[in-house]
Amino acid sequence: MRRVLSHGSFLRFYLLLGLALCVVFLIALGGRSFIEQVRREDYREQLAALPMSLMTQQLADLPVAQREERLGRFSEALGMQLSLRSLEDAELGYFERTRIERGNVVVAESPWRLRQRLPSDNDEGSWMLEATLVAWSERQWQGSLVLLGEWLADTPANERATAMASLRAGSWPLTLLSTLPDDLTLEQQFQLTLGGVLTRLATDKLAITLLYQLPNESQWVQAGPISRGDTLPVNLHLPLLVGLMIVLSLIVYLIMRSIEARMARLELAATRIASGRLETRVKVESGDFLGRVGMAFNGMANQVQTLLRGQQEMIRAVSHELRTPVARIRFAVQMVEDMTDQPAIRRQLQGIDADIAELDELVDEILTYARLGGETINGAELEMALVECRAMAERVIDTLSPLHKGLSLTLDPGDDIELYAEPRYLQRALQNLVGNACRYGKSQVVIRLCDEPNLVRIDVEDDGPGIPLEARGDIFKPFTRLDDSRARSSGGYGLGLSIVQKIMAGHRGSVTVDTSPTLGGARFTLLIPRRDLPA
């Protein structure tokens, strides 16, 4: 089983996700139980609020000597064991003491134990009323309403509404009626006249309503409807759901984070290899699916690096080997040319010598391309130095102007620009672009230097036919010419722009081509990022 788990990333993901769902389910059960407990405690407190508030308010208005007698009367009416205790001497927890000091009712179950502070005292010190009963029954319902009716009967009629408002009714909505409800039967009305408490039940919601007639009064006090409080309130449901979503999201994020980090390392390695750094490898952490992908990726990189290195070595070897026979052929041609004076034979020998020079130049181009490919692909750093770009451009113009006397080869005026780069290769790139522009330009070639915030831009523009839009992506490929039927004297070997691209890759820059906005021909642009000078 351990082997299966170690070799299956997605299996581990699903198992961890299942474990996360189990954890969330247990948290949901615990949260539901906690909320149910809070709801039950709140319901009991709301249920005991009216009798406890009624008793504490009456006791607070009495002298200490009369409180014991009133406690006995309350105890007989409600079926509770009542006692007064000093709040300072009571054994209370921090939260219980805080709630009692705020005037709330604290309820403990099995058996029921109700505690509430007296709102005001006639003597020094703070007192707490404590009530104990086995279970809440009909006796407490009816006794509470009888005590409320008797208390209101002793209160002046114009102060009864204010007195009722001063009580903490809890789940007992109180109403003082001057007329009886119309749906009462004669038996129910007779029960009220006898001083009984009428209990009414709304069958659809199982809500209880209590009705009691004030002694010797034509007023009735109604408590209710008192619901059972079975449904969970929204303010308890919503935090539970939000908490579960946050926990589940956090667990899934932590699971996916490790997978995403490993995939990101694969992406970074692929990007570095695509940029030419074939020495890049992926760190393999395990033998699971992603680990096997990393090993396959490393094997692919090794194979590609080996093939390219072999290709570069073969190109260099072949190019070097070609130089020896080319030199012997050139020497032989020169000897034959010295041995004859016939004009026709000398013209043929001069043509052969020109072909040999062209072949020698091609070998030099291939060697340069192979050398650049090896340096940039294998990740070797170029030998950088501080380059004066304007002086470099002037040297290129001085070199190519004698070869293209029919063209105007100019450098746009501007400030001197210094750049940290490889001098020889950067000049070679610019010379290739200018030479390419000279081959296709009609009358004018312009070099422009721009010093931008993070890079140096070099534009080479001509007034030639330009580069078709559909061919701009292919001209940087090796041995690619726009017109294959064109002679090499005008079309070159197809390696010049490829060498420029390799040089720019070694400088972490780029070369682009578009249309010259001023001359109408092609505009090649070198973008060379600035580098910090070594310390």
Above 90 in pLDDT, residue 459? yes
Least confidently predicted of 137-146, 192-201, 245-254? 245-254
d(C-alpha 261, C-alpha 124), whole Å: 69
Specify the pLDDT at position 485. Answer: 37
Give the residue-averaged pLDDT of 471-499. Answer: 65
Residue range 466-484: mean pLDDT, rounded: 75
Q: Is the peptide bond before 225 cis (omega within 30 degrees of 0)?
A: yes
Q: What is the DSSP letter of 196?
A: P
Taking each helix axis from N to C terminus, what angle separates 496-506 and 343-377, rounded to the nearest 10 degrees?
A: 30
Which of the listed residues 114, 136, 158 is the one where a domain comes to its end?
A: 136
| pLDDT the model gives residue 462 | 92
Residues 335 and 371 in one domain: yes
> pLDDT category, 447, cuts 50, 70, 90?
very high
- pLDDT by residue (tens digit) across 300-341? 888 888 887 777 777 777 766 777 777 777 777 777 777 777
Residue 375 in this model has a pLDDT that exceeds 80 = no
Please, what is the average pLDDT of the chain? 79
Task: Clarify whether residues 492 and 413 are in a common domain.
Answer: yes
Same-domain pairing of 309 and 423: no
pLDDT band at 377 (very low <50, low <70, confident <90, very high): very low
Residue 155 lies in a domain: yes
DSSP 390-409: HHHHHHHHHHHGGG-TTSEE
Read off the pLDDT band of 379 (50, 70, 90): very low
CA atoms of 385 and 21, how far apart (whole Å): 61
pLDDT at 463 over 70: yes
Percent of the chain whose pLDDT exceeds 90: 6
Q: Are 319 and 296 in contact (CB under 8 A)?
A: no
Tokens 């949901």 locate to: 28
Based on the fold, state whether residues 411 and 318 are members of the same structural domain. no
**Do both 127 and 159 map to the same domain?**
no
State the total domains in the chain: 4
Q: pLDDT tens-digit profile of 194-215?
A: 888 888 877 666 678 888 888 8
Alpha-carbon span 37 to 393, nearest angstrom: 85
pLDDT at residue 6 is higher than 60: no
Could you say which of 324, 349, 380 is where a domain stops? 380
- 511-515 average pLDDT score: 90
Q: Is pLDDT at 219 greater than 90 in this prediction? A: no
Indicate whether 394 belongs to any domain: yes
- Give the per-residue pLDDT at 370: 66
Given this model, what pLDDT does residue 525 score? 92
Asked whether the predicted pLDDT for residue 435 surpasses 60, the reply is yes
pLDDT at position 527: 92
Residue 179 has pLDDT above 80, yes or no: yes
> Per the domain annotation, does 472 fall within a domain?
yes
User: Residue type for 263, please?
Assistant: M
pLDDT tens for each residue of 66-99: 888 888 888 888 888 988 888 877 778 888 888 8
Give the mean model confidence (pLDDT) for residues 337-350. Answer: 76
Do residue 81 and residue 5 come from a single domain?
A: yes
Q: Is 347 found in the same domain as 417?
A: no
**441 touches 526 (CB < 8 A):** no
Instruction: Over range 246-254, report the average pLDDT.
Output: 78
* Residue 477 counted as domain residue: yes
Question: Which pLDDT value is given to residue 280?
Answer: 82
- Please indicate, yes or no, whether the overall pTM of this predicted structure exceeds 0.85: no
The answer to whether residue 5 scores a pLDDT higher than 70 is no
pLDDT in tens, 59-70: 888 888 888 888
One domain for residues 436 and 490: yes
Cα–Cα distance measured from residue 48 to residue 171, given in angstroms and rounded to the nearest whole number: 8
User: Is pLDDT of 524 > 90?
Assistant: yes
| pLDDT for res 204 | 63
CATH number at residue 434: 3.30.565.10
Predicted confidence at residue 449, as pLDDT, reads 92
Instruction: Label residue 486 by pLDDT band (50, 70, 90).
Output: very low
In the listed set 380, 406, 426, which residue is the last one of a domain according to the structure? 380
Structure tokens at 423: 């001098």
| Residues 5 and 111 grouped into a single domain | yes
What percentage of residues in the chain have a pLDDT greater than 70? 84
pLDDT in tens, 280-289: 888 887 777 7
> How far is Cα 394 from Cα 380, in angstroms, rounded to an integer?
29
In a domain, 237, yes or no: no
Mean pLDDT of 236-261: 76
- What's the pLDDT band for 234 if we cut at 50, 70, 90? low
Alpha-carbon gap, residue 502 to 275, rounded angstroms: 11
Cα(221)–Cα(425) distance, integer angstroms:
104
What average pLDDT does this structure show over 232-257? 73
Q: Taking a C-beta distance cutoff of 8 angstroms, is the pair 186, 174 a contact?
A: no
CA distances from 242 to 19, 24, 36, 232, 248 (A): 20, 12, 17, 15, 10
264 is a domain residue: no
152/127 same-domain check:
no
d(C-alpha 387, C-alpha 427), whole Å: 10
Q: Do the Cβ atoms of 80 and 88 come closer than 8 Å?
A: no
- Residue at 262 is within a domain: no
Instruction: Name which of 153-167, 371-385, 495-509 the model is least confident about.
Output: 371-385
Q: What CATH number is associated with residue 51?
A: 3.30.450
Predicted local confidence at residue 232, as pLDDT: 55
- Domain limits for position 511: 385-529
pLDDT higher than 60, residue 406: yes
| Whether 18 and 113 share a structural domain | yes
Does 267 fall in a domain? no
Q: What is the CATH number of the domain that holds 286?
A: 1.10.287.130
Check whether residue 199 and residue 303 sit in a common domain. no
